[in-house]
Chains A and B, each alone.
Chain A
């Protein structure tokens, strides 16, 4: 055991560093549970207590959640954590942080098996431990991180299977992890099979279909049968795919309209427009400004933000590409790396958002690995130089890593909460707690979750915030939850979550209305009736609690 620890002490140190960066003050950063986190947490509690989600669906295969139809994996895992650790806020973040920490050794194993170089594997593991996107997504309870972990493990076992002269147990392990990976996130259900087929095509000479391999294959197919059934039959899955598809992009919509008005072959030009637009969007995901400049979207200061990868990794990636290209062996492995990147970016290219980093994490993971290759060769080159040059090179590298890391920590812990308090739905928790504190004093509490610092946005998970922070029993919510008659109205208990129309609502009696300036003519409301103001983290007012006697 001691010998093993000694052999892997660097890796262990990296894992410890990674664990620290993912778990330290997990309850405080991010500052506030966002709508994805709160809805998954409360649904997880609901599942653990009643076996149903808040809408009363028994063990759902897709969670309706805030009408965004979430894949089920993360919620079920969280419900297990709820049973172990209770329903504290941190419960929702624990699985993400654990999966995010496990990625570090997983990367080590994957790189070790793929590139067969321990030092490159260590360099990649180190960069994974400190990577901004890894830390960011691991701390915000995001299922894709788990998906990547299982994908890495699946391919690692596939590579071990190839290396160990086809011992079948590795293939079974691989099948299990691939299958779990496919259940974690919708896009993985498509990407993993494509990647497996690509892997098979690239390494076709190393594999052969035999009786030995057919059984694990059947086992894999059996594992996936429920998933295929869910995807084909559950309307939620189709709804989700449609709502995020690139055709929802308004700019593309305009271009399609123009193409359709064409006198010449309108259908041909329509599809030509879609294909060209989608391809341009796909390629745009490789914009260095996005990858290394502001891709994590942690600030509102244009180019001053945080990339998905550190800026110091840009030269390392170029060096990594150069080194990989120069390597005489590993031609199949290099092809697989390219295929991974090409395939991994497809979901981002097909969706309506200009950039969707959460859909391309597997690509950033691979870019991290390539920068690991670059780091290894950088160290290798300067290791052979005279002492002074070596010292200078190491000092520059250490300085670059340190300053990039400190900058990220600053942006993430200090600037992000202020700049993006709206996107983490601050101060919905305070609103929910206040509403419960005033519960006894009013006949009805109306909450309009339309808010926003610059432009109005609807906080779709308002009912989850109120139920969670009021410790409202899920079985009761399932029973009481109903859609009201007013615009976007959800009703349970004394709460009505809906659009506030002040022209009508000012007539209400013994009611507490909580709404923002987007719904309330705050200047013309009697100041005495404003019971409380809730502020964004940047200090600007977000909501007002107005009492109607």
Chain B
């Protein structure tokens, strides 16, 4: 039976869109995503970020600096659709769906078989992690799409120069991580490219390196840049587990009266290399791809890998086939190493974002295995993949409960109540429930951005504790009953302990367990 390729591709795109858009308000935002959502709104309406800076290049986040592209994309969505889930998420849904197209086009390079192309598109459309990340404001999905499009253009003839140049710039604006990946990625792609003249190749290589150098120079004008680099990108050097481990093991040898020379040879700073290497290679743990990518539910559905479990078998088959006869697909393997390389130096954090980047490059291998299966088995696998996504999406309340730790659902109600309370009263909230609660309050309520603008130029890992009439209580804040400035208080367990000797009753309780927040029936003072 002859299949209508365009129709099937259209169906795959529709399926991709559907699973990314329904339900639109899932998953709940993390603090960082809420911040990006809110920032998009302030950029779109005030021309300032959440801290009041005019169209900045580097943005603040809980962990590290954020590069500009993601925030401005969110701003674009919210400029059109307003401060809403739809406005904040839509640009990423569109980018996530668009990713299907370059993968479909790239697959044509590897095989003339139309089924193979469609399978590539389907695998991208149905990848749980790509679905998940297309539903929240984040830089990974943007970067993944940009790298895939760049790969596509770098493998075409040279007339698309301008497109490639723009793409390179966009990629470098997406994240600091791209600085590490972009040059080897471009150089390896150019090396593979046989149609392009050597001069154009040289031009691109030099241009790409120049962009990175410019980006780095620009980045290092920031006073906190060096710290950000060491803490987030070269953490293997600053990680104390390794240094302490080296010293401990060496000390045990010395205590056993072994020669100091031997101990120095066996336990020294060179250990950073094998550990970095193993950490890097751990990113190829099959469990991440076909078991559980993220045990917290920040990057993916809690119980899913990057692909459905059953697809591991076509992957194995695809690897065997590509080693045996499909040299063009075999040439994709170095991309995995190039694009995950930053993991070498960022121990002990698993760089799940790097794994997402390589998914479009793994897809042809799985598809290669799939096309070799007999039709019934193939259909069964496709059906199983769709079934797995649907059965997950059909029970969203369960997914929400599972990811409650990093994506709290109850915080919406809390944020709105705090905002309502702050209209007439000074209001205080403990930071015990969520360490960075300000973005939630700002995002989930009609908060006035001007109330939280600060005079701060280079914020690094800055957490807001003062939102005008709303104060956030940290571990150093003293709480008591007094007659001075009084606050309506939403307190967690830690702060309730401070006032356990005072007879104050609580009313509404938000959340549960040790992260529960209680509203006090009387006002309190902060010191």
Question: Interface residues, chain A, CB within 8 Å of chain B?
Answer: 255, 258-259, 261-265, 268-269, 272-273, 276-277, 279-284, 286-289, 292-293, 299, 301-304, 311, 314, 322, 325-326, 338, 403, 406-407, 410-411, 414-415, 418-419
Contact = CB atoms under 8 A, between A and B. Distances in A.
Contacts of A284: 285, 287, 291
Given A280-B292, A283-B291, A288-B278, 20 more contacts: A258-B398, A259-B398, A261-B401, A262-B395, A262-B397, A262-B398, A264-B397, A281-B287, A283-B290, A287-B285, A288-B281, A289-B285, A302-B348, A303-B245, A303-B275, A303-B278, A304-B242, A304-B245, A407-B266, A414-B253
B252 A418 contact: yes
B287 A286 contact: yes
Nearest to A303: B275
Given A284-B291, A301-B241, A303-B279, A273 B246 contact: no
B256 interface: yes
A303 B347 contact: yes
B309 interface: yes
A323 B80 CA distance: 56
Contact of B241 (A259, A269, A302): A302
Contacts of B245: 299, 301-304
Contacts of A326: 323-324
A495 to B, nearest CB: 34
A325 B277 CA distance: 25
B284 to A, nearest CB: 7
B416 to A, nearest CB: 25
B406 interface: no
A289 B397 contact: no
Contacts of B281: 288-289, 292, 314
Interface residues of B, number: 50
A351 B198 CA distance: 56
Contacts of A322: 323
B244 interface: yes
A409 B246 CA distance: 16
B271 interface: yes
Contacts of B242: 302-304
B238 interface: no
Among B255, B279, B287, residue most surrounded by chain A Cβ atoms (within 10 Å): B287
12 contacts: A263-B397, A276-B292, A276-B303, A277-B303, A280-B303, A286-B285, A287-B285, A303-B245, A303-B279, A304-B267, A325-B320, A414-B253
Nearest to B391: A272
A261 B246 CA distance: 47
A290 to B, nearest CB: 8
Given A283-B287, A415-B252, A264 B394 contact: yes
A301 B348 CA distance: 13
B127 interface: no
A287 B287 CA distance: 8
Contacts of A419: 252
A288 B284 contact: yes
B398 A414 contact: no
B253 A280 contact: no
A403 B324 CA distance: 34
A100 B248 CA distance: 31
B340 interface: no
Interface in B302-316: 302-305, 309, 312, 316
Nearest to A284: B287
A410 B278 CA distance: 20
Contacts of A277: 292, 303
A299 B249 contact: yes
B278 A293 contact: yes
Contacts of A255: 302-303, 402
Given A259-B398, A288-B284, A282 B291 contact: yes
A279 B391 CA distance: 18
Contacts of B319: 325
A289 B280 CA distance: 9
Given A269-B398, A283-B291, A338 B316 contact: yes
A301 B278 contact: no
B266 A406 contact: yes
Interface of B: 241-242, 244-246, 248-249, 252-253, 255-256, 258, 262, 266-267, 271, 274-275, 277-279, 281-282, 284-287, 290-292, 302-305, 309, 312, 316, 319-320, 323-324, 347-348, 391, 394-395, 397-398, 401-402
Contact of A304 (B246, B279, B286, B309): B246
B213 to A, nearest CB: 33
A73 B258 CA distance: 40
B303 A273 contact: yes
B310 to A, nearest CB: 10
A262 B401 CA distance: 9
B282 A287 contact: yes
Contacts of A263: 397
Contacts of A406: 266
B323 A279 contact: no
Contacts of B271: 304
> Could you say which of A269, A304, A338, A403 has the most chain B C-beta atoms within 10 Å of its C-beta?
A304
B407 to A, nearest CB: 14
A279 B309 contact: yes
A314 B302 CA distance: 30
Nearest to B236: A303
Nearest to A272: B391
A548 B147 CA distance: 75
Contact of A325 (B253, B285, B323, B347): B323
Contacts of A261: 401
Contacts of A281: 287, 291
Contacts of B394: 264
B401 A258 contact: yes
B309 A325 contact: no
Contacts of A411: 249
A293 B242 CA distance: 13
B279 A279 contact: no
Contact of A280 (B241, B255, B277, B291): B291
A55 to B, nearest CB: 40
Contacts of B401: 258, 261
B402 A258 contact: yes
A303 B252 CA distance: 17
Contact of A301 (B249, B255, B274, B347): B249
- Among B244, B271, B282, the one with the most A-chain Cβ atoms within 10 Å of its Cβ is B282
A325 B320 CA distance: 6
Contacts of B397: 262-264
A99 B303 CA distance: 41
A263 B277 CA distance: 45
Task: Identify which of A281, A411, A415 gathers the most chain B CB atoms within 10 Å of its CB.
Answer: A415
Nearest to A334: B320
Contact of A289 (B241, B279, B402): B279
A421 to B, nearest CB: 11
A311 B274 contact: yes
A261 B512 CA distance: 16
Nearest to B304: A276
A286 B286 contact: yes
**What 5 A-B pairs come out closest when comparing CB atoms?**
A280-B291, A301-B245, A283-B287, A304-B245, A280-B292
A269 to B, nearest CB: 6
A279 to B, nearest CB: 5
A273 B303 CA distance: 7
A69 to B, nearest CB: 30
A521 to B, nearest CB: 27
B266 A410 contact: yes
A414 B256 contact: yes
Contacts of A299: 245, 249
A418 B254 CA distance: 12
Contact of B248 (A280, A283, A301): A301
A414 B254 CA distance: 10
A261 B267 CA distance: 51
A400 to B, nearest CB: 11
Contacts of A280: 287, 291-292, 303, 305
